[in-house]
Amino acid sequence: MSNKMHVKLNVNGQDHEFLAEPRELLIYALREKLNITGPHVGCETSHCGACTVTMNGKSVKSCTVFVAQANGAEVTTIEGLGTPDALHVLQESFKEHHGLQCGFCTPGMITRAAKLLEENPNPTEEEVRFGIAGNICRCTGYQNIVKSILSAASELNAAKEAAQ
Amino acid sequence: MKDEITREDRVANLKGMGCSRKRVEDARFTQGKGNYVDDIKLPGMLHGDFVRSPYAHARVKSINIDAAMALPGVVAVLTAKDLEPLNLHWMPTLAGDKQMVLADGKVLFQGQEVAFVVASDRYVAADAVELVEVEYEELEVIVDPFKSLQSDVVLREDLVAEDGSIPNGAHGPRKHHNHIFTWEAGDLEATEQVIDNAEVVATEEMYYHRTHPCPLETCGSVASMDKVNGKLTLWGTFQAPHVVRTVASLLSGIEEHNIRVVSPDIGGGFGNKVGVYPGYVCSIVASIVTGVPVKWVEDRMENLMSTAFARDYWMKGKISATKDGKITGLHCHVTADHGAFDACADPTKFPAGFMNICTGSYDIPVAYLGVDGVYTNKAPGGVSYRCSFRVTEAVYFIERMIEVLAIELNMDAAELRRINFIKKEQFPYTAALGWEYDSGDYHTAWDKALEAVDYKGLRAEQAQRVEDFKAGKTRKIMGVGLSFFTEIVGAGPVKNCDILGMGMFDSCEIRIHPTGSAVARLGTISQGQGHATTFAQILATEIGLSAESITIEEGDTDTAPYGLGTYGSRSTPVAGAAAAMAGRKIRAKAQMIAAYLLEVHDNDVEFDVDRFVVKGAPERFKTMKEIAYAAYNQAIPGLEPGLEAVSYYDPPNMTYPFGAYVCVMDIDVDTGVPEIRRFYALDDCGTRINPMVIEGQIHGGLTEALAVALGQEIAYDDMGNVKTGTLMDFFLPTAWEVPNYETDFTVTPSPHHPIGAKGVGESPHVGGVPCFSNAVQDAFRPFGNRHTNMPHDHWRIWQTANNLGMHD
Ligand code: FES
Ligand code: FES
């Protein structure tokens, strides 16, 4: 299987070029080739959302995107959302409201939540629940995840207002 | 010396027991910097993948690996033949049976491991799996345990003697070649007599279906055999790393000090990661054979098909009572489907776990339990999915029997529970099946719960709804689900609890650094429970150093003291106790140091939050930080330098958390869709270490209970094909299906636990499953329902309505 193709990806603001088989999955390229291990593999069938990343401005499950499809794309993973010195509001609020336990779903969940709040900065609880329904968490029962996201939303909005 | 801050502030600064300390684990997880087994990458590492059986029962006639070996990148293909010279083609199970590591002549369940391919990367390994040619000869498949006990088909030829006789199993005599054990508790004769002569008897049969813990992270391992130093390092998803080390040593012949087992971050366990799986063994062997590290990580389908199912109990009950509802006796028989190998992860003396807690929270004078374990062509496992050993089955059984008895008596089920609860003054209470319940106050909890939900109001509303339904005004009926549970956790006393002969104590080792910070290591391992946060809180309170200055380490057998791991809600009851005891040893030495520094007698100083003070003169004190420094830097006559302690804790008894749950549910009889309107959960887990973490555990456990009760199952067809092998068919609730829960509590400390804590992680699952199920069944009770089996998915609920003529 040596029909490898040349792939360009911009991940978290950094350009990468590498060779990949066309059948290779984006999650595999991220984790195994680029050592970006924040996104996880929970099912490989698009059900769990542990592998969620943002690709060209949309949430995608990177376990069901061929890296060939992602060629030339801009990808954001959990690693690109905040830095240890400047955490994303969601990273803070998940800790504050106990929105995680084992942490396995967390990178995908926060990455999805960040996109959701861009799409809908003022979601209702129902909209949050619907908006993260593609991300499964086995530990928390979601209650505190929803709380974390709603609280992050109001914080982001308050910051926006203050800036105006 | 006068202190500058108040005592209150000093307590707050400790972040000790009772406060909702934020979790220290979260920083790395929220930034994608967790370190799970699949994140481990070692130079030259190879990847393993299994060839698995498509058949549930077949002879393996031949395996041809030539084509696979010819594929570039393939390094090895292991079969049972390769493992046999090492005596690793079979391995012992935790239940005293043995299990094939790779198919030895036959396969016994779909998805069974047949060959292990080792290749340069995952894609090559997967390609090679396709190229391994296996010739099978199909055999008759048995998926029904009752048929299995009648069948001439011998599933386990290795367990039948040459003359055709059936030798004893690990748990005594076997009645049939597909029978594993009979296990009994209680007094059969007395129970039968009471039931035969009772005023009222209710009988019921129920099936607690097979399901799976399905943590978001699947199982996996990385083995690295360093041939130069003779050391084997094994990283993996292990809920019991020390046990894995001992088993690995016994199996491989490598001396235990030359094996290091590490549990890195674990993405949820829920019982799935207690057992020892063929993947672990094969990654070890492959690393020994190839001389480089080998990683094995199962995919979701492999996870659901082969590692660790839960439940699969066929339960038959008889409960007797007086006319006014006082329960007089209980009889329970279980036919337990264990699959192809008995790989249950129960303490050795309890082949049906703690199923003998099935008298529940009730004062039942006489009872009997009999359990028959049976082999079938299904995956092995039988783990405790978010519960102590088989306690969910026990609690489901009794909470359904109570409901059925209430129907028989035409009585309110809440009232029936109330008049049969074990009374506060009866504790410690010895139940008819042998356990000694440590403490409880059930009536207080029950009253609080019923009042919180306005129970009377709910029943009135329900009665109105029944009328409205009958009058054709609504198609939605309403159920009030009740459950009151008593858990039995914290296994357990070494005198009756061991796994493979290893006593189920646990341990904590503390080292205080000169500047007054500390590292503590325990024999347990967190899979999301937040041990690094909460164990530090226990220690902070015990030794008077801030939790922020205490690092907790678990999961590395080279550094952590030996312990039996984390499952069955045993971490707080056992390791938490060890932490408290080790902390007290630190404090005892600190007291001597303080007395020396303050120039008074040992008995003239006392501990106060974060210091020792001279009795009656609180302005004279030495803080724990000062004491720590002195321990290392001052020669104190009669005392060794340093400040360290270790404690191995053998609990005197189990702990018995309890709780009262109420679920209010609306059901659309035309679609079968249940809608959870309200869920109230009162938990009593004794002393509360971190309320925030407790609530999080309760939300999570209830959600797993919702899953099991309302749709999650591992189903097989008659050919032994797994029908629920992906997340398409295996129900995991999303945020959309899950309600907000109301949590509440009472506090009844355990009298024998050093800090009075009982454990909580599994209570919500144990109490939640019957509560959700009872809500569904209660909705149909006014229309003639007595019992329907879980899982209550939309289709089955619709069928229930249909069978009751509600679509006519
Ligand atoms: S791993 Fe991609 S959705 Fe589960
Ligand atoms: S925190 Fe464990 S799966 Fe979400």
Compute the residue count for chain A.
164
**d(C-alpha B63, C-alpha B114), whole Å:** 9
| Best mutation target, A21, A27, A32, A43, to test chain B (most B CBs within 10 A) | A43
Answer yes or no: is the C-beta of A43 below 6 A from any ligand 2 atom: no
**d(C-alpha B206, C-alpha B358), whole Å:** 14
Indicate the burial class of B192 (C-beta count within 10 angstroms; 0-12, 13-18, 19 or more): middle
Query: How high does pLDDT run on average in chain B?
Result: 96
| Tokens of residue B466, six digits | 């029944």
What is the chain A residue with the closest CA to B30? A91
pLDDT, one tens digit per residue, over A142-159 is 999 999 999 999 999 999
Q: What ligand has the least distance to the C-alpha of B216?
A: 2
- Three-class secondary structure of residue B212 per DSSP: coil
One-letter-per-residue 3-state SS of B360-376? CCECCCEEEEEEEEEEC
| Tokens of residue B521, six digits | 């290591």
Residue among B569, B564, B528, B535 at smallest CA distance from B552: B535
Whether the Cβ atoms of residue B210 and residue B522 lie closer than 8 Å to each other: no
Whether the Cβ atoms of residue B226 and residue B233 lie closer than 8 Å to each other: yes
Residue among B670, B653, B666, B664 at smallest CA distance from B751: B653
pLDDT, one tens digit per residue, over B608-651 is 999 999 999 999 999 999 999 999 999 999 999 999 999 999 99
Whether the Cβ atoms of residue B804 and residue B784 lie closer than 8 Å to each other: yes
| Best mutation target, B20, B26, B30, to test chain A (most A CBs within 10 A) | B30
Q: Does B740 touch chain A (CB under 8 A)?
A: yes
> Which mutation among A37, A63, A77, A106 tests ligand 1's pocket best, with the greatest number of atoms within 8 A of CB?
A63
pLDDT, one tens digit per residue, over B205-225 is 999 999 999 999 999 999 999
Q: Does residue A1 surpass a pLDDT of 60?
A: no
Query: In the CATH scheme, what is the code of domain B7-34+506-649?
Result: 3.30.365.10
| pLDDT for B568 | 73
**d(C-alpha B711, C-alpha B700), whole Å:** 17
Please tell me the distance in Å from A42's CA to the nearest CA on chain B: 5
φ/ψ of residue B394, rounded to 5: -65, -45
| pLDDT for B599 | 97
The ranges assigned to domains in chain B are 7-34+506-649, 37-141+218-266+273-306, 310-490+654-803
Q: Where residue A2 falls among pLDDT bands split at 50, 70, 90?
A: low
Chain B residue numbers touching A48 (CB-CB < 8 A): 216, 300, 727, 732
The set of residues, in sequence order, having a beta carbon less than 8 Å from that of B50 and lying 6+ positions away, is: B113, B114, B115, B116, B117, B129, B278, B279, B282, B298, B302
Residues 21-80 of A with CB under 8 A from B: 21, 23-24, 28, 31-32, 35-45, 47-48, 50, 77-79
Query: How high does pLDDT run on average in chain A?
Result: 96
The highest-level CATH class for domain A89-163 is mainly alpha
φ/ψ of residue B586, rounded to 5: -60, -45
Query: In the CATH scheme, what is the code of domain B37-141+218-266+273-306?
Result: 3.90.1170.50
Q: What ligand has the least distance to the C-alpha of A31?
A: 1
Residue among B408, B331, B385, B377 at smallest CA distance from B208: B385
The set of residues, in sequence order, having a beta carbon less than 8 Å from that of B46 and lying 6+ positions away, is: B75, B118, B119, B120, B286, B290, B292, B293, B294, B295
Q: Does A94 touch chain B (CB under 8 A)?
A: yes
Q: What is the mean pLDDT of residues B177-198?
A: 98
Please tell me which residue, A120 or B349, carries the higher pLDDT value: A120
Q: What ligand has the least distance to the C-alpha of A141?
A: 2
Please tell me the distance in Å from A114's CA to the nearest CA on chain B: 12
The ranges assigned to domains in chain A are 5-80, 89-163
Nearest Cα residue to atom 3 of ligand 1: A46
Domain B7-34+506-649 shares a fold with domain B310-490+654-803: yes
Indicate the burial class of B548 (C-beta count within 10 angstroms; 0-12, 13-18, 19 or more): middle
Pocket of ligand 1 (CB under 6 A): A 41-44, 46-51, 61, 63
| Ligand 2 centroid distance, CA of B577 (Å) | 27
Residues 83-122 of B with CB under 8 A from A: 121-122
Q: Decide if B218 and A110 are in contact by the 8 Å CB cutoff.
A: no
Q: Exposure string (b/e) for B14-27, b if CB count within 10 Å is 16 or more?
A: bbbbebebbbbbbe
What is the chain A residue with the closest CA to B71? A1
Chain A residue numbers touching B36 (CB-CB < 8 A): 40, 104
Q: Does residue B110 surpass a pLDDT of 60?
A: yes
Chain A residue numbers touching B736 (CB-CB < 8 A): 129-130, 133
Complex ipTM > 0.85 = yes
Q: Which of A1-5, B122-126, B181-185, B693-697 has the lowest mean pLDDT?
A: A1-5
| Ligand 1 centroid distance, CA of A103 (Å) | 15
Q: What ligand has the least distance to the C-alpha of A63?
A: 1
A45: nearest CB among B727, B734, B736: B727
What is the chain B residue with the closest CA to A91? B30
Residues 313-342 of B with CB under 8 A from A: none
**Which residues of B are identified as catalytic?**
239, 386-387, 762
Peptide bond into B764 cis (omega under 30): no
Q: Does residue B471 surpass a pLDDT of 50?
A: yes
Nearest Cα residue to atom 4 of ligand 2: A137
Domain A5-80 shares a fold with domain A89-163: no
Indicate the burial class of A130 (C-beta count within 10 angstroms; 0-12, 13-18, 19 or more): middle
Q: What is the mean pLDDT of residues B512-530?
A: 93
| Ligand 2 centroid distance, CA of B654 (Å) | 28
Q: Does domain A5-80 have CATH number 3.10.20.30?
A: yes
Range B310-490+654-803: architecture per CATH: 2-Layer Sandwich (3.30)
Determine the Cα angle at B65 with ends B61 and B67, to 5°. 125
Q: Where residue B324 falls among pLDDT bands split at 50, 70, 90?
A: very high
pLDDT, one tens digit per residue, over B26-57 is 999 999 999 999 999 999 999 999 999 999 99
| pLDDT for B2 | 52
Chain A residue numbers touching B695 (CB-CB < 8 A): 98, 144
Please tell me the distance in Å from A135's CA to the nearest CA on chain B: 7
B30: nearest CB among A110, A134, A140: A110
Atom of ligand 2 nearest to the CA of B217: 3
Chain A residue numbers touching B728 (CB-CB < 8 A): 45, 47
Q: Decide if A142 and B699 are in contact by the 8 Å CB cutoff.
A: yes
| Ligand 2 centroid distance, CA of B700 (Å) | 9
What is the chain B residue with the closest CA to A43? B300
Q: Which of A96-105, B342-351, B542-551, B628-637 has the lowest mean pLDDT?
A: B342-351
Give the strand pairing for B617-623 and B644-649: unpaired
Q: Does A132 touch chain B (CB under 8 A)?
A: yes
Q: What is the mean pLDDT of residues B705-717?
A: 98
- Taking CB atoms and an 8 Å cut-off, how many pairs form between chains A and B? 177
Q: Does B527 touch chain A (CB under 8 A)?
A: yes
Cα separations in angstroms, B404 against A143, B188, B326, B761: 33, 22, 14, 29
Q: Does residue B275 surpass a pLDDT of 60?
A: yes
